[in-house]
């Protein structure tokens, strides 16, 4: 019965994707505006549903980091609404011709952006993904099948109910956004087998979840990888600027994938810089771990185990390594990092340019916090996820990344000889 239900929902999404494909930008924007109005009018009901999820989560002992991701309040709901408003303002990529070729035989060949089609999204904890993902999919002409985490089931049900009411208001099929409203984990496996109806699966969540989906899906997967993000402090860095950037990247919201987890410091400035930044981090409750060189400067730091250099903490913990030079820093990042977001703080332009060029990550920064790796901050309105893959899409995925292309060819009776 469960599998039959999943098949019906996937089929419904596939059928609706054909209608969305041909929707005008005005129609799609009208839908998003109605969704926003309904979110505003039903804020109290959303918070009530979220409160129920939080109560259940605390009873089962959900980790603090996941509780933070699960929690909605009026400010976060407003952020969701602002994201939808921004998506409305964005240029619709569907139908945009991005390349033209005129052949000697007179054929005009164009490459046009088109929706991916029917998208399946599997995610954990964060109910704002329900709105962000739906808004981006709908604006880019894609129908979507959502499977949120069991810990957010009541909040997600309410948000999808709001979206479906908006679809009805603008006379679009309910299948444009479907939701798997069971906490049975077998639903995920059933969803991964819907290659007949789903064009792509996008997972958002723990590395364990993503690995499971990649290993079991017969539907193509665009993976949102974990964020073992680094900041390297070059010997030429403005140390006050460096302190500000590191503190923000680690403490502003430690439970998210673009928070800094590792700090690399050039040995020439380590004795001067580390006591200052460690004092400030500890005042914010951050546990500092480090290599042997770090412990020679910060005597009471915890020795970082070898496996930790690969680890994403998602907590108020940071591991520090003193490096000989930038070459060692870049090698360390490319070896141990997750290719998500990494930064250098430097006043040496050549070093900054080299770091940008040689660090193999989806987002690379000079003199800025890694916390900016986010669809909203990048001007994408919202994001479907942050891809750490290299095929099709990499980094924050917005409207353009939810499209593919097709060739359209204009002829005047030409035949091939």
Cβ(399)–Cβ(90) under 8 Å? yes
- In whole angstroms, what is the distance from residue 341 CA to residue 210 CA? 18
Q: How far is CA 12 from the centre of its chain?
A: 26
pLDDT at 226 over 90: no
CB neighbours of residue 111 within 10 Å: 14
**Strands 260-266 vs 302-303: parallel, antiparallel or unpaired:** unpaired
Q: How far apart are CA 204 and CA 258, in angstroms?
A: 14
Q: Would you say residue 301 has pLDDT above 80?
A: yes
The predicted pLDDT at position 140 comes to 97
For the cut 90, the answer to whether the pLDDT of residue 183 exceeds it is no
Q: For residues 327-345, give the mean pLDDT.
A: 97
Please compute the mean of the pLDDT values over residues 207-232 and round it to a whole number. 92
Per CATH, the homologous superfamily of domain 229-372 is Aldehyde Dehydrogenase; Chain A, domain 2 (3.40.309.10)
pLDDT at 389 over 90: no
Confidence of residue 64 (pLDDT cuts 50, 70, 90): confident
Q: What tokens appear for 339 in the block?
A: 């290719």
Q: Residue 248: exposed, middle, or buried by beta-carbon count in 10 A (0-12, 13-18, 19+)?
A: middle
Average pLDDT over residues 190-214: 93
Q: φ, ψ for residue 102 (rounded to 5)?
A: -105, 115
Confidence grade of residue 69 (pLDDT, cut at 50, 70, 90)? confident
What six digits make up the tokens of 23? 């929707």
Q: What is the predicted pLDDT for the residue at 62?
A: 84
How do beta strands 302-303 and 118-123 pair?
unpaired
Instruction: Report the range of poorest mean pLDDT among 26-30, 90-94, 248-252, 388-392.
Output: 388-392
Residue 380, pLDDT score: 82
Q: What percent of the chain has pLDDT over 90?
A: 86
**How high is the mean pLDDT of the chain?**
95
Tell me the pLDDT tens digit for each residue of 253-288. 998 899 999 999 999 999 999 999 999 999 999 999
Distances in Å between the Cα of 162 and the Cα atoms of 31, 38, 93, 159, 234 are: 11, 6, 26, 5, 49
100-112 residue pLDDT tens: 999 999 999 999 9
pLDDT tens digits, one per residue of 141-156: 999 999 999 999 999 9
**Per-residue confidence band for 35, with pLDDT thresholds at 50, 70 and 90:** very high
Predicted local confidence at residue 370, as pLDDT: 98
* pLDDT exceeds cutoff 80 at 225: no
User: Across residues 9-28, what is the average pLDDT?
Assistant: 97
**Whether the predicted pLDDT of 381 surpasses 90:** no
- H-run or E-run covering 114: strand 108-115
Burial of residue 101 (CB within 10 Å: 0-12, 13-18, 19+) is: exposed
What pLDDT sits at residue 385? 84
Residue 390's pLDDT band (boundaries 50, 70, 90)?
confident
Q: Residue 65 — pLDDT band, cuts 50, 70, 90?
A: confident
Q: How confident is the model at residue 204 (pLDDT cuts 50, 70, 90)?
A: confident
- In this prediction, residue 147 carries a pLDDT of 96
pLDDT at residue 208 greater than cutoff 90: no
For residues 11-20, average pLDDT = 97
Query: How far is residue 256's CA from residue 128's CA, in Å, rounded to a whole number?
Result: 13
- The token pair at 228 is 């073992």
Whether 66 has a pLDDT exceeding 90, the answer reads: no
pLDDT band at 58; cut points 50, 70, 90 = very high
- How is the chain split into domains, by residue range? 2-222+397-410, 229-372
User: What confidence score (pLDDT) does residue 68 get?
Assistant: 86
**pLDDT of 1 strictly over 90:** no
Q: What is the mean pLDDT of residues 195-212?
A: 91
The topology under which CATH files domain 2-222+397-410 is Aldehyde Dehydrogenase; Chain A, domain 1 (3.40.605)
């Amino acid at each position: 019965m469960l599998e039959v239900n999943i098949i019906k929902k996937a089929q419904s999404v596939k059928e609706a994707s054909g209608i969305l494909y041909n929707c005008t930008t005005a129609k799609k924007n009208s839908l998003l505006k109605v969704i926003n109005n309904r979110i505003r009018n039903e804020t109290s009901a959303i918070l009530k549903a979220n409160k129920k999820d939080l109560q259940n989560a605390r009873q089962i002992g959900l980790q603090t980091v996941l509780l933070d991701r699960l929690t909605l309040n009026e400010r976060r709901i407003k952020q969701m609404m602002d994201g939808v408003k921004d998506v409305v303002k964005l240029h619709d990529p569907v139908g945009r011709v991005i390349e033209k070729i005129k052949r000697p035989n007179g054929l005009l060949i164009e490459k046009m952006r088109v929706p991916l089609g029917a998208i399946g999204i599997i995610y954990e904890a964060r109910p704002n993904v329900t709105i962000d993902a739906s808004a981006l999919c709908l604006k880019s002409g894609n129908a979507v099948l959502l499977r949120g985490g069991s810990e957010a089931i009541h909040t997600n049900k309410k948000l999808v109910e709001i979206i479906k009411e908006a679809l009805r208001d603008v006379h679009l099929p309910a299948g444009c956004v479907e939701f798997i409203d069971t906490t049975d984990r077998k639903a995920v496996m059933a969803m991964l087998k819907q290659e007949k109806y789903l064009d792509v699966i996008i997972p958002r969540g723990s590395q364990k979840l993503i690995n499971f989906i990649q290993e079991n899906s017969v539907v193509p997967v665009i993976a949102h990888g974990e964020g073992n993000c680094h900041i390297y402090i070059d010997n030429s860095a403005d140390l006050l600027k460096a302190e500000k950037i590191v503190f923000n990247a680690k403490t502003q919201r430690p439970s998210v994938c673009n928070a800094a987890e590792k700090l690399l410091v050039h040995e020439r400035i380590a004795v001067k810089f580390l006591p200052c930044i460690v004092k400030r981090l500890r005042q914010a409750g951050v546990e500092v771990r480090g290599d042997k060189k770090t412990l020679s400067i910060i005597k009471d730091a915890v020795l970082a185990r070898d496996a930790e250099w690969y680890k994403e903490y998602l907590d108020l913990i940071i591991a520090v390594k003193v490096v000989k030079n930038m070459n060692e820093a870049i090698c360390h990042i490319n070896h141990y990092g997750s290719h998500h977001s990494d930064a250098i703080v430097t006043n040496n332009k050549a070093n900054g340019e080299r770091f940008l060029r040689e660090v193999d990550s989806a987002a690379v920064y000079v003199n800025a916090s890694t916390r900016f790796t986010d669809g909203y901050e990048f001007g994408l309105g919202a994001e479907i996820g942050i891809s750490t893959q290299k095929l099709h899409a990499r980094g924050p995925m917005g409207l353009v990344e939810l499209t593919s292309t097709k060739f359209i060819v204009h002829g005047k009776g030409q035949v091939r000889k």
